[in-house]
A and B are shown apart, each in its own frame.
Chain A
Amino acid sequence: MSILVIAEHDNAVLKAATLNTITAATQLGSDIAILVAGHGCGAVAEAAAKVVGVKKVLLADAPYYAHQLAENVAALVVGLAGGYTHILAPATAAGKNMLPRVAALLDVAQISDIVKVESVNTFVRPIYAGNVLATVQSKDPVKVITVRGTAFPAATATGGFAVVETVAPAADAGVSSFVGQQLTKSDRPELTAARTIVSGGRGMGNGENFKLLEDVADKLGAAVGASRAAVDAGFVPNDYQVGQTGKVVAPDLYIAVGISGAIQHLAGMKDSKVIVAINKDEEAPIFQVADYGLVADLFAAVPEMSKELDKLKAA
């Protein structure tokens, strides 16, 4: 088995989701190469070379890889694909955007969002918002796979010593270009990597009230998430969304505040270790998956929780 992992990065930092994908790769075989395609991304290649389990880092540097346009990166991956039995990427917005292009150009199926490796050609993946798990076997010569980060532990980020090899960039497809981006600035941990998440739903009433959650989140070192309802209502930006079509998370502690618990939301968080629900509606479906439920008005309960956390700290 010879496996190519596509690194997720921003030209400066290797993103954590890559480490989970490398763990999935190690379950397939030990001959693992990692592709860092970007611009001015030497530091990322250096970081990738230190990840335990990686044999080789392929570094492709060109101005038109700076923003990871799918058209250009996919063409590069297809050019490098010869000889690999598996091509893996994290099932993140970037991986989901780019990898199906690779699969189509190689004329193979993609196996999306795997949560388990059964064998070199058999994988488990959730369908129907995770209400059902499908075990699928690929008949294709190359397996093109996106990996759900929360289903695999992170590979050790330091201690390895892979060689970094520069590869020639493919031609610029010239059909798309980057215009700009608006990234949410936050000092809190990233949702998909956080050990604790405090999430708000429609019950929060407005964006201003999310400050109540942020206050608790900061005392817990937690990330702040949201249900689709809260994002659709404009309370918080899109990248807060946890659910079937948003981010899938599995922290040690997930605190759902004012979230009713639609199937689509549960799909994104039901693998959390401990789930807490705070909701004034005792019939809310979220209580059916919560380890600890508190039927209460969140506008009283959340500030009170903040005070209780202060007491713990002082004790």
Chain B
Amino acid sequence: MKILVAVKRVVDYNVKVRAKADGTGVETANVKMSMNPFDEIAVEEAVRLQEAGKAKEIVAVSLGVAACQDTIRTALAMGADRGILVETDAELQPLAVAKLLKAVVEKEKPDLVILGKQAIDDDANQTGQMLAALLGWPQGTFASKVDIDAGAINVTREIDGGLETVALKSPAVVTTDLRLNEPRFVKLPNIMKAKKKPLDVLKPADLGVDVAPRLITLKVQEPPKRQAGIKVDTVAALVDKLRNEAHVI
């Protein structure tokens, strides 16, 4: 089985993001960038499948500016075999990303594509589902467990009431949820090795995809800040406040 993993370069999850004063976007200058945490889980899952003898090759794909090469190198250091960057300075929205990934899938012909369920920057939660739809493939989204046996892919999904398991025919798309695995720490020798792994660079035009945005961002602003309230000294005082001041119990 060949696995393709999509990885996105995003503002690190520990950074407190701020809107730019002119409302055109968020402040990304001098901000730490990292691989989207859900995509790390996707890479980890692919590597575990390979270690279990279920996958032969893992290709890590990223889309965006040249610096996304760093994100791909991280995936290679975790255990992916080679990388592909679709390089562009243009803003890429989920539909465009799904179309670009579809074109890469058609070239690479993987049996399974694993992506994070959402990126922690735009919080869209769309790309995996869109890719599956464009390919006409089944999808196992929000996965907390992936079992592969003789071409059948069983995915346990985190849903609102608990868990659900679906069986997918290969080829398929899986998107990861938090409990799927705990990504490994990358060791220094693997970072060195990753530098020697192949990484191809393509352009959206090479793939024949129009990436023009469909949504225009008119304004980006911070929501009104919630003010800290008061500290109470005792449980009795707390219950009294909730009853007689806030009127919520």
Q: Within the assembled complex, what's the spacing in Å between the Cα atoms of A292 and B236?
A: 12
Interface: B242 (CB within 8 A): yes
Interface size class, chain B: 35 or more
Cβ–Cβ contact B133 & A74, under 8 A: yes
Q: Within the assembled complex, what's the spacing in Å between the Cα atoms of A275 and B154?
A: 40
Interface: A207 (CB within 8 A): no
Interface: A154 (CB within 8 A): no
Interface: A109 (CB within 8 A): yes
Q: How far is the CB of A220 from chain B (nearest CB, A)?
A: 6
Q: Within the assembled complex, what's the spacing in Å between the Cα atoms of A304 and B13?
A: 37
Binds A, one of B51-59, B63-71, B194-202, B211-219: B211-219
Interface: A53 (CB within 8 A): no
Q: Which residues of the other chain, A, contact B137 by a CB distance below 8 angstroms?
A: 175
Cβ–Cβ contact B160 & A94, under 8 A: yes
A-B contact pairs, 25 of them (CB 8 A): A69-B166, A96-B129, A103-B126, A104-B130, A110-B124, A112-B123, A131-B18, A132-B223, A137-B215, A175-B172, A176-B138, A176-B166, A176-B167, A176-B168, A179-B166, A180-B165, A181-B159, A181-B162, A181-B163, A238-B158, A238-B163, A244-B120, A263-B16, A292-B231, A308-B235
Residue of A nearest to B127 (CB): A100
Interface positions, chain A 291-315, Cβ under 8 Å from B, are 291-296, 301, 304-305, 308-309, 312
Interface: B178 (CB within 8 A): yes
Q: Which residues of the other chain, A, contact B113 by a CB distance below 8 angstroms?
A: none
Cβ–Cβ contact A196 & B249, under 8 A: yes
Q: How far is the CB of A258 from chain B (nearest CB, A)?
A: 15
Q: Within the assembled complex, what's the spacing in Å between the Cα atoms of A148 and B242?
A: 27
Residue of A nearest to B11 (CB): A128
Cβ–Cβ contact B165 & A133, under 8 A: no
Measured CB to CB, the residues of A under 8 A from B are: 67, 69-71, 74, 92-94, 96-105, 107-113, 122, 126-140, 173-184, 192, 196, 220, 228, 231-232, 237-239, 244-245, 247, 252-253, 263-264, 270, 273-276, 287-296, 301, 304-305, 308-309, 312
Residue of A nearest to B236 (CB): A308
Pick the most buried of B124, B133, B154: most chain A CB atoms within 10 A of its CB.
Answer: B133
Cβ–Cβ contact B165 & A179, under 8 A: yes
Q: Which residues of the other chain, B, contact A294 by a CB distance below 8 angstroms?
A: 231-235, 238
Q: Within the complex, which residue of B129, B216, B221 is in contact with A97, where a contact is CB–CB below 8 Å? A: B129
Number of A-B contacts (CB under 8 A): 262
Q: Which residues of the other chain, A, contact B11 by a CB distance below 8 angstroms?
A: 128
User: Given A128-B123, A178-B166, does the pair A238, B239 have CB atoms closer than 8 Å?
Assistant: no
Q: Which residues of the other chain, A, contact B236 by a CB distance below 8 angstroms?
A: 304, 308
Q: Which residues of the other chain, B, contact A105 by a CB distance below 8 angstroms?
A: 133-134
Residue of B nearest to A176 (CB): B138
Q: Within the assembled complex, what's the spacing in Å between the Cα atoms of A293 and B118?
A: 33
Q: Within the assembled complex, what's the spacing in Å between the Cα atoms of A293 and B226?
A: 14
Given contacts A108-B214, A134-B219, 8 further A-B contacts (CB under 8 A): A109-B214, A132-B26, A135-B218, A137-B215, A182-B164, A270-B226, A291-B230, A308-B236
Q: How far is the CB of A114 from chain B (nearest CB, A)?
A: 12
Q: Is the interface of B mostly helix, strand, loop or mixed?
A: mixed
Q: Within the assembled complex, what's the spacing in Å between the Cα atoms of A292 and B243?
A: 12
Cβ–Cβ contact B94 & A196, under 8 A: no
Interface: B1 (CB within 8 A): no
Q: Within the complex, which residue of B131, B215, B231 is in contact with A138, where a contact is CB–CB below 8 Å? A: B215
User: Given A104-B129, A253-B248, does the pair A292, B241 have CB atoms closer than 8 Å?
Assistant: yes
Measured CB to CB, the residues of B under 8 A from A are: 11, 13, 16-19, 26, 38, 93-95, 98, 117-118, 120-134, 136-142, 144, 154, 157-169, 172, 177-179, 214-223, 226, 228-236, 238-239, 241-243, 246, 248-249
User: Given A112-B126, A263-B16, does the pair A101, B166 have CB atoms closer than 8 Å?
Assistant: no
Residue of A nearest to B158 (CB): A238
Cβ–Cβ contact B159 & A93, under 8 A: yes
Closest 6 CB pairs of A and B: A291-B229, A100-B129, A104-B130, A109-B214, A101-B133, A176-B138
Q: How far is the CB of B21 from chain A (nearest CB, A)?
A: 13
User: Given A175-B138, A245-B117, does the pair A110, B126 have CB atoms closer than 8 Å?
Assistant: yes
Residue of A nearest to B117 (CB): A245
Residue of A nearest to B135 (CB): A104
Q: Within the assembled complex, what's the spacing in Å between the Cα atoms of A79 and B226?
A: 45
Q: Which residues of the other chain, A, contact B18 by a CB distance below 8 angstroms?
A: 131-132
Q: Within the assembled complex, what's the spacing in Å between the Cα atoms of A2 and B167?
A: 36
Residue of B nearest to A71 (CB): B138
Q: How far is the CB of A243 from chain B (nearest CB, A)?
A: 10
Q: Within the assembled complex, what's the spacing in Å between the Cα atoms of A270 and B158?
A: 23
Residue of A nearest to B23 (CB): A135
Pick the most buried of B160, B168, B215: most chain A CB atoms within 10 A of its CB.
Answer: B160
Q: Which residues of the other chain, B, contact A264 by a CB distance below 8 angstroms?
A: 13
Q: Which residues of the other chain, B, contact A74 by a CB distance below 8 angstroms?
A: 133
Residue of B nearest to A113 (CB): B123
Cβ–Cβ contact A220 & B216, under 8 A: no
Q: Which residues of the other chain, B, contact A290 by a CB distance below 8 angstroms?
A: 228-229
Cβ–Cβ contact B160 & A93, under 8 A: yes
